[in-house]
Amino acid sequence: MTSKRQMSMVMDLNKCIGCHTCTVACKTLWTREEGKEYMLWNTVNTMPGMGTPKNWENMGGGFKDGKAQLGKLPSRQEFGDAWEYNHKDVFYGGKGDKTHLQIEGETPTWGPNWDEDEGAGVFPNSYFFYLPRICNHCTNPACVAACPRKAIEKREEDGIVVINEDRCRGYRFCMEACPYKKIYFNMEKGVSQKCIFCFPRLEQGVSNACARQCPGRVRFVGYRDDQNAPIWKLVEKYKVAIPLHPERGTQPNVFYIPPIGPASFDADGDIDEQTPRIPDEYLISLFGPKVLDALDVLKAEREKTKRGEKSELMDLLIAYRWNEMFGGFDKNPATIEWA
């Protein structure tokens, strides 16, 4: 499956503050209709953690020996169903002084950020970081390979993976095959739905809502082959942006700058710069062995700036000017006449 060009995103995990502004930006723009209540096309989870849907990394899918594998179909509860609150009593029922805002029905046992900020490790060397995720708009998408209706396609002009809802019959093989579990099922419409990489915004020169609204300046956007834009430099030139779970074989087009994490403390309580707080083995389990090379480059460039030397890479990652992060997709959405 080939596209003329490929849109992509790089997320710097050293800068994500877990504020969920990205999630809210996507939710308010794309998933407000009926049937989409539980959908979060953008999620931000604490790692190590179970993620969203719960335990998605162990649900299978992706490719094995070149063949798409059907993994587990995540349930609504595993995604974390949208909770119903007693708004009508508190705000409209005249009982505001007798009751308080609470969840209606059964007490939930799971939600999209149930294990937020728990992380792992033993005090004082406990650790966590935030992992924002969207559909990876893969070059070799397992969701496309698994769909018997040919209802999912990669757009020729930009490689964005979209679902044709007129062709979808709701078999949900795509949900089973996606190793990132980034497809949702709309029970009202009977079709699968997912992140559209904000293509209607990109077509107007406006970058993705989740990227544009990010206060941490975590997200870079652009074509992968645009050598003047940060994406190419981060992925191809410096090789510090790497995909999540590359072993699943889908060739993601969302890349991550791995988290360096703070220094550890030794048994005497002194700072131990040599032992990484976030274990290498854990990062390798997420990003593959290339994560170690990426971390080496990041640390070396950081040392350069400490010595007062210039580092193009550090300047790029600091992102002094937000509009230089988006590969030319930097128009103000307020200036566009939206259809």
CA atoms lying within 13 Å on the CB side of residue 124: 11
Amino acid sitting at position 195: C
Q: Decide if residue 192 touches ligand SF4 (CB under 6 A).
A: no
Rule CB under 6 A: say whether 134 interacts with ligand SF4: yes
Distance from C-alpha of 265 to C-alpha of 47, rounded to nearest angstrom: 20
Stretch that binds ligand SF4, among 48-56, 130-138, 239-247, 330-338 (CB under 6 A): 130-138
Residue 130 vs 238, nearer CB to ligand SF4 = 130
Q: x-or-dash pattern for ligand SF4, window 238-277, by CB under 6 A?
A: ------------x---------------------------
- The reply on whether position 155 binds ligand SF4 by CB under 6 A is no
Cβ atoms within 10 Å, residue 153: 17
| Smaller CB separation from ligand SF4, 96 or 215 | 215
Check binding of 161 to ligand SF4 (CB under 6 A).
yes
Q: What are phi and psi of 272, to 5 degrees?
A: -115, 100
Tokens of 334: 């307020």
Residue 222, amino acid: G
Which residues lie below 8 Å from residue 151, measured CB to CB, with a gap of 6+?
163, 164, 165, 167, 168, 169, 192
Secondary structure of the chain: what % helix, strand, coil (to 5)? Answer: 25, 20, 55
3-class secondary-structure state, position 262: coil
How far apart, in Å, do the first and last CA atoms of the chain sit?
A: 31
By the rule CB under 6 A, 294 interacts with ligand SF4: no
Spatial distance between the Cα atoms of 119 and 127, rounded to a whole number of angstroms: 6
Angle (nearest 5°) at CA 211 between 142 and 326 = 95
**207 makes contact with ligand SF4 (CB under 6 A):** no
- Closest CB 297 distance from ligand SF4, rounded Å: 22
Q: Indicate whether 214 belongs to the interface with ligand SF4 (CB under 6 A).
A: yes
CA torsion sign, 178 to 182 to 188 to 189?
A: negative
State which residue, 256 or 264, has the beta carbon closest to ligand SF4.
256
Q: How far is CA 40 from CA 28, 121, 183, 237, 288, in A?
A: 10, 29, 10, 33, 26
Q: Which is nearer to ligand SF4, 220 or 264 (CB)?
A: 220
Q: Which of 131, 143, 257, 291 binds ligand SF4 (CB under 6 A)?
A: 143
Site for ligand SF4 contains 26 (CB under 6 A): yes
Figure out which of the listed residues 49, 51, 132, 261 binds ligand SF4, where binding follows CB under 6 A. 132
- Kindly state the number of chain residues that form the binding site for ligand SF4, as judged by CB under 6 A: 41
Q: Is 146 in the site for ligand SF4 (CB under 6 A)?
A: no
**Which of 132, 276 has the CB closer to ligand SF4?**
132
> Please, what is the minimum distance in Å from the beta carbon of residue 135 to ligand SF4?
3
Residue nearer to ligand SF4 on the CB measure, 16 or 313: 16
47 contributes a contact to ligand SF4 by CB under 6 A: no
> Could you tell me whether strands 67-68 and 129-133 are parallel, antiparallel, or unpaired per DSSP bridges?
unpaired
> Does residue 18 bind ligand SF4 (CB under 6 A)?
yes
When the beta carbons of 142 and 313 are compared against ligand SF4, the nearer one is 142
Residues of this chain that bind ligand SF4 (CB under 6 A): 16-22, 25-26, 30, 41-42, 44, 130, 132, 134-138, 141-143, 161, 178, 180, 182-183, 194-198, 208-210, 214-216, 218, 250
